[in-house]
């Protein structure tokens, strides 16, 4: 589940970045807590992509709205990216590959996987969404109906990932984790982030105030959001990028239909499924330097084909075994159709932006759908039970099996991609 409203609220109230304004008096440089981009890291991609390839990937995957163009000048030799739309402050220069295609591309390998161990040699990182445990309330990822057992998304994600890990390991993969338990990966805590939260508010005293929060409440709410979103996911990204170097990462979540008007927990009778591949940056995101940097890094890494292969294969399992319809984000402005599967959409999320290498982000069934809710309440039972009129294994097992079967199917049927993500240069 993704806290969309919260994120946009943060963007709104952080309108002027606390990191940009103090020294340079220039707004909109970095997202909250973002690391300063090191553009030199992209120099290893000089001369590896043609103008045509770049423009095609930008239009189809990363910049469907065309917002990036305002920050670039392009000619036959390369492109110049600027911080500002007036194009006065250059950030990065990219030289095109000579005609005849990217110089850095190797041939696609056409060996098929060992049928017994189709994932042999793959290092797969699991990222169970959210923290859970003592942090579930702060994360706003828990609800309770009456005297039922509370539903805590972080715990559902972790249970599912533990079964998924067994399946992937049995198929030959080495499984690594962004976290395995209910402790944050980041060493920071909300209290540590009050200065950043306050710094913003000092600038914005005359600006918009949410009537929902007192000033103290707003500071605390912001500090918490900085903790569980920005700091936590950045810490996980450092693990992925600097220690584990997986071949790909699977982010596992359960979704929820929006609560009714009262905002109180209530059940619905709908469930949809979706998988996200990185992309679809919005105009308001591309104002920030760090977002531009990550767009370029991801576009040049070229992990999209691998993400789409995985997403397509998992989507097929969802359709075949569960049959829940896919989400439809047409016209949303923040997600664009992948074109390979109705279940797979491009979207720019903090985890799939910061984690290097292919990332497939899986949003499972709606926790507040009546049938799914009963299925969750039934717990991790053995064998099968009647859930909503069908004989079902427990939900964690079924969800893990859908994902595992999709991943295994992708490796059983498709050739390995030696051209996929290979570059972990410093
Ligand atoms: Zn979630």
- Please tell me the distance from the alpha carbon of residue 79 to that of residue 283, in angstroms, as a whole number: 19
Residue 221's contacts (CB-CB under 8 Å, 6 or more residues apart) are 213
CB atoms < 10 A from the CB of 204, how many?
16
- Rounded to 5°, the CA angle 388-393-395 comes to 75
Where do the domains of the chain lie, and which CATH numbers do they carry?
123-186+234-413 (3.40.630.40)
Is 184:131 a contact under the CB 8 Å cutoff? yes
Residue 13's contacts (CB-CB under 8 Å, 6 or more residues apart) are 200, 204, 207, 208, 210, 218, 222
- Rounded to 5°, the CA angle 302-306-310 comes to 150
| Cα of 363 from ligand 1 centre, angstroms | 7
| Cα of 194 from ligand 1 centre, angstroms | 25
| Cα of 360 from ligand 1 centre, angstroms | 14
| Cα of 130 from ligand 1 centre, angstroms | 6
Model pLDDT, residue 110: 54
- For 12, the enclosing helix (H) or strand (E) is helix 4-13
| Cα of 273 from ligand 1 centre, angstroms | 13
| Cα of 233 from ligand 1 centre, angstroms | 13
| Cα of 85 from ligand 1 centre, angstroms | 35
Tokens coding 403: 């994902």
- Tokens 């699991």 belong to residue: 126
| Cα of 99 from ligand 1 centre, angstroms | 44
- Please tell me the distance from the alpha carbon of residue 101 to that of residue 258, in angstroms, as a whole number: 46
| Cα of 295 from ligand 1 centre, angstroms | 23
| Cα of 253 from ligand 1 centre, angstroms | 4
* Long-range contact pairs involving 41-46 (C-beta distance under 8 Å, separation at least 24): 41/297, 41/425, 41/426, 42/92, 42/94, 42/293, 42/296, 42/297, 42/300, 44/423, 44/425, 45/94, 45/104, 45/300, 45/423, 46/94, 46/95
Model pLDDT, residue 417: 57
Start-to-end CA span in the chain (Å) = 32
| Cα of 141 from ligand 1 centre, angstroms | 7
| Cα of 78 from ligand 1 centre, angstroms | 40
- Please tell me the distance from the alpha carbon of residue 199 to that of residue 116, in angstroms, as a whole number: 57
Summarised one tens digit per residue, pLDDT across range 338-366 is: 999 999 999 999 999 999 999 999 999 99
Model pLDDT, residue 416: 58
- Please tell me the distance from the alpha carbon of residue 319 to that of residue 372, in angstroms, as a whole number: 16
Model pLDDT, residue 112: 67
Burial category of 389 from C-beta neighbours within 10 Å (exposed 0-12, middle 13-18, buried 19 and up): exposed
The pTM is what? 0.88
| Cα of 395 from ligand 1 centre, angstroms | 16
Q: Flag residues of the chain having pLDDT under 70.
A: 2-30, 99-112, 200-212, 261-263, 415-426
**102 to each of 15, 58, 96, 282, how far by Cα in Å?**
39, 16, 8, 27
| Cα of 313 from ligand 1 centre, angstroms | 21
Model pLDDT, residue 208: 52
Model pLDDT, residue 294: 97
Mark out the alpha helices in 226-323 (DSSP H runs): 232-238, 289-301, 304-317
């Amino acid at each position: 589940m993704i806290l969309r409203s919260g994120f946009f609220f943060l963007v709104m109230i952080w309108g002027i970045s606390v990191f940009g304004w103090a020294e340079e008096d220039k707004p909109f440089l970095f997202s909250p807590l973002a690391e300063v981009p090191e553009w030199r890291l992209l120099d290893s991609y000089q001369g590896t992509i043609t103008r045509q390839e770049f423009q095609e990937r930008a239009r189809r995957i990363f910049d469907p709205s065309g917002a990036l163009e305002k920050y670039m000048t392009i000619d036959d030799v390369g492109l110049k990216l600027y911080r500002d739309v007036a194009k006065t402050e250059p950030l990065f220069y990219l030289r095109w590959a000579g005609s005849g295609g990217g110089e850095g591309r190797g041939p696609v390998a056409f060996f098929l996987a060992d049928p017994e161990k189709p994932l042999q040699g793959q290092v797969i990182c699991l990222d169970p969404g959210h923290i859970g445990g003592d942090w579930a309330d702060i994360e706003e990822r828990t609800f309770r109906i009456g005297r039922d057992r509370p539903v805590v998304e972080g715990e559902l994600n972790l249970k599912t990932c533990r079964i998924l890990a067994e399946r992937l390991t049995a198929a030959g993969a080495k499984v690594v984790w962004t976290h395995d338990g209910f402790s944050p990966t980041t060493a920071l805590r909300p209290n540590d982030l009050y200065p950043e939260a306050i710094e913003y508010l000092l600038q914005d005293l005359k600006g918009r105030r949410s009537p929902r929060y007192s000033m103290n409440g707003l500071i605390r709410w912001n500090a918490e959001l900085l903790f569980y979103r920005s700091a936590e996911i950045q810490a996980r990204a450092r693990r992925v990028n600097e220690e584990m170097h997986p071949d790909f990462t699977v982010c596992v979540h359960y979704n929820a239909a929006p609560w009714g008007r009262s905002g109180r927990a209530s059940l619905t009778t709908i469930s949809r499924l979706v998988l996200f591949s990185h992309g679809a940056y919005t105009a308001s995101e591309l104002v920030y330097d760090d977002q531009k940097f990550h767009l370029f890094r991801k576009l040049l890494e070229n992990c999209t084909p691998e993400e789409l292969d995985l997403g397509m294969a998992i989507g097929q399992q969802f359709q075949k075994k569960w049959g829940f319809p896919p989400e439809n984000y047409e016209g949303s402005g923040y997600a664009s159709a992948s074109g390979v599967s109705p279940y797979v959409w491009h979207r720019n999320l903090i985890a799939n932006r910061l984690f290097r290498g292919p990332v497939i982000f899986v949003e499972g069934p709606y926790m507040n759908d009546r049938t799914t809710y009963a299925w969750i309440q039934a717990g991790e039972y053995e064998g099968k039970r009647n859930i909503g009129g069908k004989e079902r294994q427990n939900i964690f097992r079924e969800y893990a099996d859908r994902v595992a079967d999709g991943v295994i199917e992708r490796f059983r049927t498709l050739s390995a991609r030696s051209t996929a993500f290979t570059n972990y240069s410093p």
